[in-house]
Chain A
């Protein structure tokens, strides 16, 4: 079942730079998809269009039946509640502990404390940080901080998890652990995962659906297991 569809999407920034040219692609529900490509290939722009940080100059983006490009600014938050977003720099609150960082996502939506607690504990358990509930970000390793960010992204049980270079700041062992965690969430919960990366080793090992971009164009769309390392 088609979950995400890009139809003839072009994105031109105000400074004249064209990040994506007439992009067409689709991602199935429950898919685990890597977006790969060199610098300036349009990977990050693609994710920004998905969570409506940017609007396409032309074309249409459909996410779970919702026309993202037609969404008004005031209603963007409704889309974001259905998504989980993870970044390379974790984006945690430094003065809040693990529990508070994850709970923050539900608190700002006005959820009750009674409702928040079990959901936060479940998410933290899923990422394997149950023993570090009261630790602060500065006490955690990079990998652990990224796990907190993932727990915060999945606590709202999103339909789609967008990860923009989540392993960019981590060593290879930690990177692999994070990707395996994402794969586990994808398998266990059925969350669709889109992961932007330039780490070819991970992509080679995972043998998942891969969308390769080059200079803002769709270079190739590899089905599961089709990807073999090649220089883009």
Chain B
């Protein structure tokens, strides 16, 4: 019970103090707002990049075209050889007859043109659909397959995929550096806000010491104040993130420019991300004030 009474008192004092040092509190809160907004954007980007990579991993297939010189008896051998490559997850053969049928079903123009082909005159090639374990090594794997006997051409959407993965990785790295720098700056501002609070309440603190308040009871209001600054600072970024992401998702219809990049559905993702942003805000406030208390409050 004593703990809750002290906590109640600390919360009341902390709010009073935020009001008393309003300009400095506002500076800290503004800095937290900027930091957390960038953190929120980073979370949204990172999660979407991860999701996109996962989806790519599921969908991305190397298509290996078998040379028309290959005999039917060679097909199994080629499949085994592809399967032996370390990055290969699975290999499926798609023969030229089924490819022809698929194309005919897709388009009437194909249907008319291909209806006269029989098995002998079908100029299409047998293909292997190869799935890989590590998407980053797809170029290497494609190259290995291409060097196998009886493989004519290998396709995997090279170029675009590589570029997208690289661009997203750069964005992630830049975001991390910006976030770390801003978190440090915010901590510095919070330390200074709490320092000012400690100095403005020196008399009160000295009386608290004299009448026998425990160190915990003396420190608690300042730590709570830091947490309140962090919490207040997280409200705007959370609103920006929720409203912004919903709007973005609706505007693009759940995909970014192409069907290849699907956006993560807002629910429950955006609420979980909001919770993370709030917790980060409170923790940054708590550690910042904890540092100030250790440095300036000699108890």
Known: A91-B203, A93-B203, A110-B2. A105 touches B211 (CB 8 A): yes
- How long is the Cα–Cα vector from A109 to B299 in the complex, in angstroms? 16
Chain B residues 173 to 213 lying within 8 A of chain A, measured CB to CB, are 203-204, 206-213
Interface status of B215 (Cβ within 8 A of chain A): yes
Interface status of B294 (Cβ within 8 A of chain A): no
Interface status of A12 (Cβ within 8 A of chain B): no
Known: A110-B3, A110-B6. A104 touches B207 (CB 8 A): yes
A80–B210 CB distance below 8 A: yes
A109–B217 CB distance below 8 A: yes
- How long is the Cα–Cα vector from A83 to B210 in the complex, in angstroms? 9
Known: A110-B5, A112-B1, A112-B5. A77 touches B207 (CB 8 A): no
Residue ID in chain A nearest B204 by CB atoms: A93
- How long is the Cα–Cα vector from A61 to B214 in the complex, in angstroms? 22
Q: Please name the 9 residue pairs, one residue from A and one from B, whose CB atoms are nearest each other, closest first.
A: A110-B2, A80-B212, A81-B212, A108-B213, A105-B211, A110-B6, A77-B214, A77-B212, A110-B5
A110–B211 CB distance below 8 A: no
Known: A91-B203, A93-B203. A108 touches B215 (CB 8 A): no
Interface status of A78 (Cβ within 8 A of chain B): yes
Chain A residues 58 to 108 lying within 8 A of chain B, measured CB to CB, are 73-74, 77-83, 85, 91, 93, 104-105, 107-108
A180 shortest CB reach to chain B, Å:
24
**Chain B residues with CB under 8 A of A104:** 207, 211
A77–B213 CB distance below 8 A: yes
Chain B residues 198 to 244 lying within 8 A of chain A, measured CB to CB, are 203-204, 206-215, 217-218
- Besides A74-B215, A79-B212, A110-B3, 17 more A-B contacts (Cβ < 8 Å) are A73-B299, A77-B212, A78-B212, A83-B212, A85-B210, A93-B204, A93-B207, A104-B211, A108-B211, A109-B2, A109-B211, A109-B212, A109-B213, A110-B1, A110-B5, A110-B217, A156-B211
A64 shortest CB reach to chain B, Å:
14
B21 shortest CB reach to chain A, Å:
15
Interface status of B9 (Cβ within 8 A of chain A): yes
Residue ID in chain B nearest A93 by CB atoms: B204
Interface status of A152 (Cβ within 8 A of chain B): yes
A156–B212 CB distance below 8 A: yes
Contact with B along A118-140 (1 / 0, CB 8 A): 00000000000000000000000
A153 shortest CB reach to chain B, Å:
8
- How long is the Cα–Cα vector from A74 to B209 in the complex, in angstroms? 11
Chain B interface residue count: which class? 20 to 34
8 Å CB contact of A80 from B1, B5, B211: B211
- How long is the Cα–Cα vector from A81 to B212 in the complex, in angstroms? 5
- How long is the Cα–Cα vector from A131 to B209 in the complex, in angstroms? 29
Residue ID in chain B nearest A83 by CB atoms: B212
Instruction: Give the A interface residue count (CB, 8 A).
Output: 23
B100 shortest CB reach to chain A, Å:
84
- How long is the Cα–Cα vector from A105 to B9 in the complex, in angstroms? 13
Chain A residues near B (Cβ < 8 Å): 51, 73-74, 77-83, 85, 91, 93, 104-105, 107-112, 152, 156
- How long is the Cα–Cα vector from A140 to B3 in the complex, in angstroms? 34
- How long is the Cα–Cα vector from A159 to B208 in the complex, in angstroms? 19
B266 shortest CB reach to chain A, Å:
44
**Chain B residues with CB under 8 A of A51:** 210
B244 shortest CB reach to chain A, Å:
43
Residue ID in chain A nearest B206 by CB atoms: A91
- How long is the Cα–Cα vector from A80 to B218 in the complex, in angstroms? 14
**Chain A residues with CB under 8 A of B1:** 110, 112
**Chain A residues with CB under 8 A of B2:** 109-111
B213 shortest CB reach to chain A, Å:
4
**Chain A residues with CB under 8 A of B203:** 91, 93
A152–B6 CB distance below 8 A: no
B210–A91 CB distance below 8 A: yes
- How long is the Cα–Cα vector from A93 to B208 in the complex, in angstroms? 11
**Chain B residues with CB under 8 A of A111:** 2, 5
Residue ID in chain B nearest A113 by CB atoms: B5
- How long is the Cα–Cα vector from A15 to B207 in the complex, in angstroms? 26
B198 shortest CB reach to chain A, Å:
16
A152–B211 CB distance below 8 A: yes
Chain B residues 1 to 56 lying within 8 A of chain A, measured CB to CB, are 1-3, 5-6, 9
**Chain B residues with CB under 8 A of A83:** 212
Residue ID in chain B nearest A92 by CB atoms: B207
- How long is the Cα–Cα vector from A201 to B218 in the complex, in angstroms? 40
Residue ID in chain B nearest A106 by CB atoms: B211
B207–A91 CB distance below 8 A: yes
A107–B209 CB distance below 8 A: no
Residue ID in chain B nearest A94 by CB atoms: B203
A-B contact pairs, 19 of them (CB 8 A): A74-B215, A79-B212, A80-B210, A81-B212, A83-B212, A85-B210, A91-B206, A93-B204, A104-B207, A107-B9, A108-B212, A108-B213, A108-B217, A109-B214, A110-B2, A110-B5, A110-B9, A111-B5, A152-B211
